[in-house]
């Protein structure tokens, strides 16, 4: 028992030290913005660069290297949807029991299941778990963007207007089509489907530009946290617990024990589910005018605690992945 505990502590320390540089860059961005060494305008410009160019280049390159058959596994999709839906409904129900509106409950539920997969998960998990993690992380990102972003828009719009109008559906579809992460993934899969040889110059260009997404995205996360509020910490603490613990646990149960997803894919899925609350939920909260301070606090608290919780989940997942790969 003592030997096992010692080995686990060593593994945990090794993983923590590997994840620490990623969170250190987040801390650097936070410090730079908090001290106003980097202005709010400069941080916003960096976020735009990462969102529209660097991250899109990374997503396109990864998607172009995958076949649709490699990316899409129905058991993976259903397992992630089931685990996430259970947590979504739980968060929604508990929020309603506290007397919140439908829109507020939907925002809190969104915080409980939408992790920072694009800006944090994609750069970090591919580095720590290896290039084979790119496919499942892309799949999680696609489900989050297409399914749950659509769901929250429908719930909030219907709660306010009583129904979804044709114009509302049009705005929803336009928002999906204009999202650069969705566009870059679709274009990359299209390239993969047509299977033309990628010119060396194009490959080098995408690698160079995509390489800027990791430090750029992490620094931008930190800078965005510097302007976040830490109000309503009680609710933020519950939401953070939901996102960092309940969401990965529910996804793990669905993936490993209900749908028996391939162990390697399931382990990456759980790591993606363990990520802190995504920044784009705050953008939605601001857009709809629903509890932006609550969401802001949830992002801040969950990101702070994820330094430890994400390390724990990765330390749990890595041996499973090694065993699944026959290592």
Is the model's pLDDT at 19 over the cut of 80? yes
15 near 311, Cβ under 8 Å? yes
Q: Is 130 helix (H, G, I), strand (E, B) or coil?
A: coil
231 near 297, Cβ under 8 Å? yes
The four Cα atoms 298, 301, 304, 307 give a dihedral, to 10 degrees, of: -70
Cα separation of 305 and 24, whole Å?
13
pLDDT band at 2 (very low <50, low <70, confident <90, very high): low
115, HSE (Cβ side, Cα atoms, 13 Å): 32
Helix ranges (H only) for the chain are: 2-34, 40-49, 55-64, 68-71, 74-97, 102-113, 122-129, 134-143, 149-161, 166-178, 180-194, 200-211, 213-225, 233-241, 247-252, 263-273, 279-288, 292-324
Q: Compute the average pLDDT of residues 224-230.
A: 74
* Interval 283-305: pLDDT, tens: 788 878 888 888 888 988 999 99
Task: Give the C-alpha distances (Å, rounded to integers) separating 143 from 81, 263, 303.
Answer: 8, 20, 21
Cα separation of 141 and 179, whole Å?
12
What pLDDT score was predicted for residue 314? Answer: 93
Task: Give the C-alpha distances (Å, rounded to integers) separating 242 from 105, 118, 182, 267, 286.
Answer: 14, 20, 26, 19, 22
* Interval 28-85: pLDDT, tens: 999 999 999 999 899 889 988 988 899 899 889 988 888 777 677 899 999 999 999 9
Q: In order of start, what are the domains of the chain with their CATH numbers?
A: 25-324 (1.20.1530.20)
The set of residues, in sequence order, having a beta carbon less than 8 Å from that of 276 and lying 6+ positions away, is 115, 116, 120, 240, 243, 244, 299, 302, 303, 305, 306, 310
- The two three-digit tokens of residue 274, written as one number: 């363990």
Q: Compute the average pLDDT of residues 8-13.
A: 75
Phi-psi category of 289—alpha, beta or left, where left has phi over 0 and alpha has psi -120 to 50?
Answer: left
Please give the share of the chain, as a percent, with pLDDT higher than 90: 43
Count of residues in the chain: 327
* Interval 100-152: pLDDT, tens: 999 999 999 999 999 999 888 888 998 889 888 988 999 999 899 888 888 88
* Interval 262-273: pLDDT, tens: 999 999 999 999
Is the model's pLDDT at 327 over the cut of 60? no
């Amino acid at each position: 028992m003592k030997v096992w505990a010692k080995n686990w502590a060593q593994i945990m320390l090794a993983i923590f030290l590997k994840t620490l540089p990623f969170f250190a860059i987040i801390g650097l961005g936070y410090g730079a913005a908090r001290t106003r060494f980097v202005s709010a305008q400069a941080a916003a410009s960096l976020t735009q660069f990462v969102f529209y160019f660097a991250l899109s280049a990374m997503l396109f390159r990864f998607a172009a290297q995958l076949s649709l058959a490699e990316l899409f596994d129905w058991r993976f999709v259903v397992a992630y949807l089931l685990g996430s839906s259970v947590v979504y409904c739980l968060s929604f129900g508990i929020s309603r029991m506290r007397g919140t509106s439908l829109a507020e409950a939907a925002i809190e539920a969104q915080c409980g299941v939408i992790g920072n997969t694009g800006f944090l998960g994609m750069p970090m998990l591919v580095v720590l778990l290896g290039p084979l993690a790119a496919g499942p992380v892309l799949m999680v990102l696609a489900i989050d963007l297409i399914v749950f972003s659509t769901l929250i828009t429908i719930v909030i719009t219907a709660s306010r207007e009583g129904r979804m109008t044709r114009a509302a559906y049009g705005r929803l579809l336009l928002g999906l089509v204009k999202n650069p992460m969705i566009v870059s993934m679709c274009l990359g899969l299209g390239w993969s489907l047509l299977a033309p040889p990628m010119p060396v110059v194009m490959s080098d260009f995408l690698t160079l530009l995509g390489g800027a997404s990791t430090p750029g995205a992490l620094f931008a996360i930190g800078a965005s946290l510097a302007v976040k509020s830490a109000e309503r910490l009680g609710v933020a603490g519950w939401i953070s617990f939901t996102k960092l613990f309940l969401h990965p646990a529910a996804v793990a149960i669905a993936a490993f024990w209900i749908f028996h997803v391939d162990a390697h894919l399931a382990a990456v899925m759980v790591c993606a589910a363990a990520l802190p609350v995504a920044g784009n939920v705050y953008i939605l909260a601001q857009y709809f005018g629903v509890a932006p301070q609550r969401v802001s606090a949830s992002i801040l608290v969950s990101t702070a605690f994820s330094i430890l919780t994400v390390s724990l989940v990765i330390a749990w997942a890595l041996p499973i992945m090694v065993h699944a790969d026959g290592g």
